[in-house]
Every structure is written in C-alpha cells, then in structure tokens.
C-alpha cells in the first residue's frame, strides 16, 4: 500500500492541474486549472495520504502485538519469515555471540560413560550428573537457517538465540485466531479446549512441529481423544509462525483416530507439505484379526500459493494393524516427488506367504506390506509382502517379573514400520517388533518407482520368529525402533530392549557399509560383559517391574543425532511407590487398577516418570547429555564458549 501511495504522490503535480473537459466530446482535450484550486486539491490529497499511513502503522502495531512479529511486519508480507527473522537471516553460528558459562551439567560436553544406570532410590540424571538443562528436553527441529526449536508444552515453542538465551513463543493466540477466522470452532472455545494433550511432550507423535524448506510450519491439533467437538485440524503458517491458517481434516471418525504428519528425515527439511497418515489410536483385541484390523489411510496436502489444498481421505489398505506408537516410530509414509512410499503392518498374511496363514488357524507373527501411491495419476500399486516380525512375547508366569518370555503367537500392533528417504533417494525401512528381532530393508535403487525390490533385507537381533522362548543368553529382542540415516549413509536406530533381569534398557544400534556394528559391552552390576552385542546400552533404569521409555530421534544437517527420552513407570511395589513419591514430592493417588503385590498409578492422567533427558551423539562417536552449548558446534566439550 505504501509503494502505491508514493506512486500517486509522484504523479500528483501533473494530475492536480489537469482535468478532462466535460464540455467536449474529445476525451484527449485537457485544460489548465487555477493555481489556488491546485493547492487546495494537493492539501486534501496529502491529508488523506497521511491518514492512510497512520491506519497502516496502527495495523502493523496491532499485528506485531498479536503475533510477536518485528516492528514493520505486516500479515502476509511477502518475503517475511519468522524463523529467518529471529535467526538474523544468517546460517546458525558455530559459536554464540556472547560468552556463555552455563550450569546445566556438572561437566558440560564431556563424554557420557555408557551405559548410564539409574541408581537405587530412583537416582536419575539430575541427581547423578546435576543435569538441569535450560530448555525442555524434547525433540529438536532445525529451520532452514539452522535455528534450533523445541516444543515446550502449553502451546509454546522455545528457540535459541545467537546470544545463547532460550526464548519462548506462544502458538495459542495464533491458533485461536486461525480457527475463529474460519468459524471452525465455537467462539467460546479455544485450541486449548480441543487438545489438552498438546502439552504432553512425549505422548504419541501427533503434535510435533514440521518445517519445510519454504518457511512453512505445520502441526496438528489432536483429533478428538479429549476434544469437545470431535474434529481434527491441520495448522499451517506460510511465514514461519507470524500468521496461521486452520484446515479441518476430513476424518470419518476423529475420536479414536490419529493423524500423523510426515516428518523430515536424513537431516533435511521437507521440500513439500507433509503427507498425513491416518490410523486408529489403538486396537482392541488382536487375538482375533477381525477385531484388530482397521484401514490405514492418507491425506495428500498440496501447496497453493500461500495456502494449502487438503486432499480427500484415501484408503491405502482396508486391513491393517497401523497405529501411532508412543515411542520410537517415525514415518509410515514418505513423499518423493509425485510418489508417496507407504509401509504398514498388516492383519492378514497373503495365502502364498506361508502354509500357515492368518486366514487359517495357526498364527505366526505380524506381516508387513509396502506400496506406492502416485499422486499425478491417483494410482495405488498392489501391495508387496515384505515379511514378518515376531509373534509377540508374554511372560511365561505373568505375575513374575523375572519369568522368561514366551511367544503367544498372536498378531501384535506394537510391531510397526518406520521409513526414511535418505539424501540419495534410497528408501530405508525398519520393521519393528515387540520384544523380538526386527528386520531392516533398503531399496534396490534410489527414487524407486515401486517397493517390490530390495537390495538389503536382514534380521536385526538374535531371536527368530518361531523361537518358543527368549533365553537370557540370546534375548537381543527389540521394541519401538526409531530410525535415521545420515549423510554418510550410516543407519542409526534407538530402541527399547529388556535384559534378562527384566529392566527395559534404551539401546542404540548402528549400521555402516560394513554391516551392523558389534559393540563391546562392559560388565555392569547385574549384567555380564558381551564383546559382540548388537547394541550399545544407553540408559538402564533401576527398576525390575514394567516401565517404558518414551523416546524420539532427530538428525541435524551436520550429522549430530538427538535422542530425547523419559522413563515411565507402569508398575510399583508398595515400597517403591512410597519411595518414589517421597523423592519426587508426588501426592498419593489410588491405583488405576486392582492390584496386590504390584500396582499401577497415574499422576495427572499420565504414567509417573523420572526427569526427561536429551542425548546428543556426533561424528566422534561421543554420547553426552545435551546442554545449550551443544547446539553451537564450536562449544562441544567446553565449559564456556563465546567471545573472550
């Protein structure tokens, strides 16, 4: 508007002294007017122009106040990007602009002696290492300029300034404005009323932020588990977080359904809007395939100018076990140009896969399938059967936490795939298991037209699908894998693994061009040495009853791996519960189910947890508890960093 007004002002000296003669039929005839008339018209024009400038400045001020935008920013201003503005428009610096001395860890940047074992009386990372990060240790994402961003609960994100200070930005007002602008929710409701789980930093994967390479930001408001109106919304900001637009997702049954955004992998931003995978939150009874199976669907999202077009709900498979896992996990669908690669856990074996199929009486494990959806033609390829992973383990004696695992032979919806498209265009798949051996696959060629041919297809672990017991000596059995592939084609996996003493370890696995790395595991208090282990133990809880790691993984473009985690207790003895409450100052609550020797508790609707952590792992094979200094590459291993 300013530029147009200045153009008019520049032309005014000529226009103010000329007018069309109404008394002639020749429209090209002009005559001069008096100087007094010209001055009067000029004064009036300047008054109107000044008013327009004042109104514009007021609108800018209101917009800046509502969004946190820098002064002078207007809604929809072309070229503006909040992610770029707060990083100074420069690539993320190697070192902070101010000297930092941070007390987030007893010895910042030092190598973590692995594994880290929680001590007796629930002695955790804070007690052992004085670990107190100045940020919420959630999964970090990185903007085009390398700006580190963390989702911080309460509809906030935190971002790290070049001065080493973490700052918060609320998303709630922007979400509310977007929802009310389109009248998608009643005026009396807020985004916070629709999605009380947005603040839970580890629960499922719906609420993560996804960034594209054009400054677009995406997230989903939860689709109805705690909603008053039972709807799901894709929230989109084309300018990095200044303004938001809301889109209702075409879900047939939002309550009990999960919609999950495709996330960037291999240390790259998305070059397109994320594909949305739609699947149930959970399945009821997998002992009967007909009760367990449900469709897996997708929503194709396209960029239209500064807005989006939300495609229809398309069914990929009518019979699947697809769910969103609380831990590990990642993409079941990845876009590559006009192709969307898809992998999913099935509920039935093909008749040709085995003489004992799920369509008959005997059941052996969970089958996996892959297909490709071609967005340019709307064609969905026939599914390719990939194989199976374990039939699921249960305790031989369910009441004894030290009882060995045995196969129960059922379908298991904990077995889910995770997919990565690497920087060269190869498709990588990890077929997840539930306390069993996983399978790893890599496509035969980059950017494949179909997923029917694989150059690598290998077991990851020492058990086999048909083992009837999981012996202590060979129980390298995994659950909930998270998968990444870096620029050097190194495959990184973080998963959960029970040891023979029933402690659920958080472990790391790695594959190079030479194959899967074997780690020399030193002996620890309750475990013998193992010089050829599949895994490297990261965290071991001092807890022999059931508990679960909630963990995620992300990769920075420079190859640094980030693993955020928390250990969540599902069972306590009465003595443990009293000790846990005393250590973490938790009020007593009633067990959520009937119990005798072992009880489960919920605190504020969630499993009790120890302090969450964030691990960083770099090209020097150095694991450490991440601090603010680790986000600056020149600061790793230094207790202070910045200008001297």
83 in a structural domain: no
User: Residue 32: what pLDDT?
Assistant: 46
User: Residue 61: what pLDDT?
Assistant: 46
**DSSP annotation string for 53-120:** HHHHHHHHHHHHHHH-PPTT--TT-TT--HHHHHTTTSPPPSS-SS-EE--SSSSTTPPP-SSEE-BT
The residue written with tokens 């039972």 in the block is 230
User: Residue 376: what pLDDT?
Assistant: 96
Q: Cis omega before residue 115 (within 30°)?
A: yes
pTM: 0.84
230 in a structural domain: no
CA dihedral 576, 581, 584, 587 (to 10 degrees): 160
**DSSP annotation string for 423-438:** TTS-EEEEE--EEE-E
Domain region containing 55 = 1-18+34-74
2 in a structural domain: yes
Bridge partners, 428 (sequence order) = 420, 442
506 in a structural domain: no
Query: If DSSP codes are grouped into helix, strand and coil, which group holds residue 153?
Result: coil
Nearest to 139 by CA among 483, 552, 482, 550: 552
User: Residue 405: what pLDDT?
Assistant: 58
User: Residue 304: what pLDDT?
Assistant: 95
Cα–Cα distance, 32 to 531 (Å, whole number): 99
52 in a structural domain: yes
**Averaged pLDDT, groups of 10, the chain, 644 residues long:** 43 40 38 55 58 47 42 51 88 87 75 81 84 90 90 86 93 95 92 66 62 94 62 93 96 80 94 94 67 89 96 94 82 97 92 46 74 97 91 60 60 90 98 89 98 95 57 66 95 87 84 93 76 87 82 90 89 88 87 82 78 82 88 80 77
Cα–Cα distance, 477 to 495 (Å, whole number): 10
Give me the number of domains the chain comprises.
Answer: 1
494 in a structural domain: no
Measured at the alpha carbon of residue 62, what is the angle toward residues 56 and 63, in degrees to the nearest 5?
Answer: 90
279 in a structural domain: no
User: Residue 65: what pLDDT?
Assistant: 43
Alpha helix ranges (H) inside 271-396: 289-292
413 in a structural domain: no
């Amino acid at each position: 508007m300013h530029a147009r007004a200045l153009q008019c002002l520049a032309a005014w000296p000529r226009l103010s002294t000329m007018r069309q003669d109404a008394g002639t039929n020749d429209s090209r005839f002009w005559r001069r007017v008096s100087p007094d008339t010209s001055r009067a018209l000029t004064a009036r024009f300047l008054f109107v122009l000044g008013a327009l400038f004042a109104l514009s400045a007021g609108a800018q001020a209101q917009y800046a106040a509502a969004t946190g935008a820098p002064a002078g920013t207007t809604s929809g201003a072309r070229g503006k990007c909040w992610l770029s503005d707060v990083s100074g428009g420069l690539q993320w610096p190697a070192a902070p602009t101010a000297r930092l001395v941070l007390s987030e860890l007893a010895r910042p940047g030092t190598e973590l002696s692995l594994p880290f074992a929680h001590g007796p009386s629930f002695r955790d990372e804070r007690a052992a290492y004085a670990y107190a990060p100045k940020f919420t240790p959630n999964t970090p994402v990185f903007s085009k300029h390398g700006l580190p961003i963390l989702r911080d609960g309460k509809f906030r994100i935190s971002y790290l300034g070049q001065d080493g200070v973490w700052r918060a930005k609320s998303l709630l007002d922007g979400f509310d404005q977007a929802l009310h602008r389109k009248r998608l929710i009643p005026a009396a409701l807020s985004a916070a009323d629709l999605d009380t789980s947005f603040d839970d930093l580890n629960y499922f994967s719906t609420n993560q932020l996804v960034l594209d390479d054009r400054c677009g930001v995406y997230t989903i408001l939860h689709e109805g588990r705690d909603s008053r109106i039972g709807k799901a919304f894709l929230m989109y900001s084309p300018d990095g977080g200044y303004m938001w637009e809301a889109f209702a997702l075409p879900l047939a049954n939002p309550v009990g359904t999960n919609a999950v955004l495709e996330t960037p992998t291999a240390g790259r931003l998305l070059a397109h809007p994320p594909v949305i995978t739609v699947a149930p939150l959970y399945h009821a009874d997998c002992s009967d395939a007909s009760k367990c199976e449900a469709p897996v669907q997708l929503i194709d999202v396209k960029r239209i100018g500064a807005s989006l077009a939300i495609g229809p709900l398309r069914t990929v498979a009518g019979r699947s076990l697809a769910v969103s896992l609380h831990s590990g996990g990642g993409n079941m669908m990845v876009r590559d140009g006009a192709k969307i690669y898809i992998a999913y856990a099935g509920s039935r074996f093909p008749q040709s896969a085995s003489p004992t199929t799920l369509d008959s009486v005997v059941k052996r494990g969970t089958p996996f399938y892959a297909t490709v959806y071609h967005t340019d033609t709307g064609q969905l390829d026939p599914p390719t059967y990939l194989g199976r992973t374990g039939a699921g383990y249960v305790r031989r004696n369910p009441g004894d936490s030290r009882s060995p695992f045995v196969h129960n032979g059922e379908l298991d919806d904990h077995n889910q795939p995770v997919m990565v498209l690497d920087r060269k265009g190869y498709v990588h798949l990890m077929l997840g298991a539930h306390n069993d051996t996983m399978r790893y696959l890599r496509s035969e060629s980059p950017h494949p037209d179909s997923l029917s041919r694989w150059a690598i297809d290998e077991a990851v672990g020492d058990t086999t699908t048909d083992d009837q017991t999981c012996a202590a000596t060979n129980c390298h059995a995994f659950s909930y894998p998270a998968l990444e592939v870096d620029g050097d084609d190194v495959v990184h996996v973080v998963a959960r693994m029970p040891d023979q003493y029933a402690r659920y370890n958080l472990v790391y696995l790695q594959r190079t061009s030479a194959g899967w790395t074997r780690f020399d595991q030193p002996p620890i208090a309750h475990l013998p040495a193992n010089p050829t282990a599949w895994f490297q133990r990261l965290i071991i809880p001092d807890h022999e009853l059931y508990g679960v790691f909630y963990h995620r993984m992300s990769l920075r473009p420079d190859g640094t791996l980030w693993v955020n985690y928390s250990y969540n207790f599902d069972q306590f003895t009465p003595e443990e519960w009293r000790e846990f409450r005393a250590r973490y100052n938790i009020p007593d609550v009633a067990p959520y189910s009937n119990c005798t020797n072992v009880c489960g508790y919920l605190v504020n609707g969630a499993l009790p947890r120890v302090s969450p952590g964030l691990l960083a792992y770099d090209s020097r094979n150095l694991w450490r508890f991440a601090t603010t200094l680790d986000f600056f590459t020149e600061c790793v291993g230094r207790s202070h960093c910045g200008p001297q």
